[in-house]
Amino acid sequence: MSAEPAPAARDRHATPRQALLLAPGRLELREVPRPHPGPGEVVLKITCALSCGTDLKAFRRGHPMWPMPTPFGHEFTGIIAEVGADVSDFREGDAVMAAPTAPCGRCFFCARGQENLCPQAMARMVLGAYADYLLVGAHVVARNMFHKPASLAIEQAALLEPLSCVVHAHEMARPEPGENVLIVGAGAFGLLHALVLKARGVSDIAIVGRGANRLRWASELDGVRTLDARADGIDEAIAALNQGHGPDLVIESTGQVDGWADAFRRVRRGGRVLFFGGCPPDTTLGVDTRRMHYDNLALLSPFHFRPRDVRSAYELLASGRLEAGRLVNARRPLAELPEVFAMLGRGEALKCAVIP
């Protein structure tokens, strides 16, 4: 599915649509005026937007950084429909892919190479990709937008944002080819971690998760061992990894406190824990300080990404080495967006491509 979809007849005549999240559990697809770009901005005709675990959580319980009602959707790819003044690297008709945020480049954190913590990154996030058209701000166009290779499927191009998060996390954890890695959580992010590990030469990978569908999808990744978190003997099976020492690196990707505690418990002495999944607000993790100190553990908690992570993610997708297409295992039109979230809630898909 690498070809760009043909423009639909409705695009030329009908009023554009955009999905709004009005309140938890309440989505509305509204007709809106077509946006037009200001200086440095572009307007995309969306060709693919992807469902995301963060979107599902926001749909269920809201999001602290997205006051409602809010335009919805932030993983996307598209064709430039209009460019604003001062845009020199892109033109109308270009197929592009982008991350939905970009740092200011001037603040305290940007000056220290921690652009992922720049206040602008989340405050000016591009939202509203579940739509026919999307206005992309000048800050994103200048730093985190790229030409989509013709050979790259639109479903894979739209993975740039989540992949950038994973790349940033791996830059912190520094997995080595000879290490044993355990991923806690068999959702889309867990499988994306496994694909990036494989692409970078790590071959001793196990995923522990729940749910028949998720375990089946994880088992389809070549060379990745899957473990049922609810099976008898699961503790012994994980402890037996890595010549009986336990995992060198544990990547937590459930975004639940129980998953964080499980990851901390599983890692070997001298190992590293990567707390990747963000937990609900006002939750806490109890840490055995004796084990942390005397077992010489490194606890890492990445957030978001930097422009260099986006560039690395783009190059990884463009290389064709990632096999990322297998993460997107459903496809629905924009008009069926409520059913997309019902399907995700039932565990019937990892990620769904929403095609306007």
We report the CATH number of the domain holding residue 43 as: 3.90.180.10
Range of the domain at 71: 10-158+323-355
Residue 181 clears pLDDT 80, i.e. is over it: yes
CA distance 78 to 59: 24
Do residues 189 and 132 share a domain? no
Residue 3 in this model has a pLDDT that exceeds 70 = no
Structure-token pair, residue 299:
């606890």
Query: Is a pLDDT exceeding 50 seen at residue 115?
Result: yes
- Residue among 48, 60, 61, 67 at smallest CA distance from 161: 48
Same domain, 209 and 97: no
- Do 154 and 262 lie in one domain? The reply is no
Q: Are residues 152 and 182 in the same domain?
A: no
Nearest to 132 by CA among 27, 43, 28, 1: 43
> Does residue 276 have a pLDDT over 50?
yes
| Cα dihedral sign, 262-267-270-274 | negative
Tell whether 73 and 104 lie within a shared domain: yes
d(CA 137, CA 335): 26
Query: pLDDT tens across 72-92, in order?
Result: 999 999 999 999 999 999 999
**pLDDT greater than 80 at residue 15:** yes
| Residue 331 DSSP label | E
Q: Are 147 and 253 found together in one domain? A: no
Give per-residue pLDDT as tens, 232-257.
999 999 999 999 999 999 999 999 99
For residue 147, pLDDT beyond 70: yes
- Answering whether pTM is above 0.75, one says yes
Q: How many CA atoms lie within 13 A of 105 on its CB side?
A: 8
Contacts of 120 (CB under 8 A, 6+ apart): 102, 103, 104, 107, 139
pLDDT at 7: 45
Q: Does 341 have pLDDT greater than 60?
A: yes
- Please name the helix (run of DSSP H) or strand (run of DSSP E) that holds residue 293, with its range, or none: helix 289-294
Query: What pLDDT is attached to residue 9?
Result: 41
Please name the helix (run of DSSP H) or strand (run of DSSP E) that holds residue 17, with its range, or none.
Answer: strand 17-23
Residues 6+ apart with CB under 8 A from 112: none
- Looking at residue 2, its pLDDT comes to 47
Q: Does residue 316 fall inside a structural domain? A: no
Q: What span, in angstroms and rounded, lies between the C-alpha atoms of 112 and 160?
A: 24
Q: What is the CATH number of the domain that holds 290?
A: 3.40.50.720
Q: Is 263 helix (H, G, I), strand (E, B) or coil?
A: helix
Residue at 205 is within a domain: yes
Q: Which of the four pLDDT bands, split at 50, 70 and 90, describes residue 4?
A: low
- 61-65, 104-108, 138-142, 153-157: least confident range: 61-65
Euclidean distance between CA atoms 27 and 128, whole angstroms = 12
Determine the distance from the C-alpha atom of residue 75 to the mean position of all C-alpha atoms in its chain, rounded to a whole number.
Answer: 8
Beta strand pairing call for 76-83 and 42-50: antiparallel
User: Do 36 and 153 fall into the same domain?
Assistant: yes
Q: How far is CA 109 from CA 41, 113, 117, 173, in A?
A: 25, 6, 6, 20
pLDDT at 10: 45
Q: How many domains does the chain have?
A: 2
Residue 317 lies in a domain: no
Domain identity same for 173 and 282: yes
Structure letter (DSSP) for residue 6: P
pLDDT at 5 over 70: no
Task: Answer whether residue 115 is part of any domain.
Answer: yes
